[in-house]
Amino acid sequence: MKKIFLLIITVCFLNANAEVHKGQTYYYYLLKDSLGYNGLIFAKQYSDKQWIQLFEHDAKELKNTLQKENKNLKTFLNSKKFDEIRPHLKAFVIKFASNKKNAPQCIE
């Protein structure tokens, strides 16, 4: 129960200024081509708890994981730009995480 409470508080705090749709945009323009799959597939790789862990300590674990997929991402992942987009990216992936039932509308 305490863990769930802390998870909710963490998500709320970190999402206070982060915007999901910005995270989606940043993923589309800055990561999609390097990783080769769309934002929804990216988000569905992990649960919300797992994403929070990946983003801890300046997203250290996430950076390692993504660099394994494409080592050319190293420079970008350690740039100020990535730091700028990180809260929005986090908000986006948490919203569409594997354990979330957010249903995209009207798939075409």
Partner 1 sequence: MLRRNFFKVSAATAALLQTSNLLASSNKKTKTQNKAIKTTVAICGGGFAGLSAAKFLKELNPSLDVTLIEKRNSFMSCPLSNGWLGEVKGITYESLNFDYNSAVNKYGYNFINEAIIDINRDGKTIYTANNVIKYDYMIMAPGIDYNYKKLFQNDTKKAKESLLKAPPGLKPGSEHLALKRMIKNFKGGNFVLTIPHEAYKCPPAPYERACMIANYFKKNDIQGKVIIIDPRIKPGAKPKQFIKAFKEFYPNIIEYRNLTNFKDVDFNKKMISVEFFDKKEMTYKTQDILFEEASIIPPNKANNLINIAKIDTYTQGWVKLRQPTFRTLSDEDVYVIGDAQGEYPFPKSGQMANSCAYIVALELTQRLKGKSFDYKNNMPGNVCYSMVTDKKSVSITHSYTFTNKVNVSSVTSKIDKITAQSSKTWYTGLTSDIFGL
Chain residues binding partner 1 by CB under 8 A are: 19-22, 25-26, 28-30, 81, 84, 101-108
How far from 63 is each of 4, 12, 97, CA to CA, in Å?
Answer: 26, 23, 18
Pick the closer one to partner 1 by CB: 64 or 79: 79
Pick the closer one to partner 1 by CB: 20 or 66: 20
Pick the closer one to partner 1 by CB: 56 or 84: 84
User: Least CB distance from residue 3 to partner 1, whole Å?
Assistant: 19
User: Least CB distance from residue 95 to partner 1, whole Å?
Assistant: 9
User: Least CB distance from residue 20 to partner 1, whole Å?
Assistant: 8
**Which residues in 30-70 belong to E strands, given as ranges?**
none
Distance CA 21, CA 92 (A): 7
User: Least CB distance from residue 9 to partner 1, whole Å?
Assistant: 15
Distance CA 76, CA 83 (A): 10
Pick the closer one to partner 1 by CB: 44 or 61: 44
Distance CA 53, CA 94 (A): 11
Residue type at 57 in one-letter notation: H
N- to C-terminal Cα separation, the chain: 40
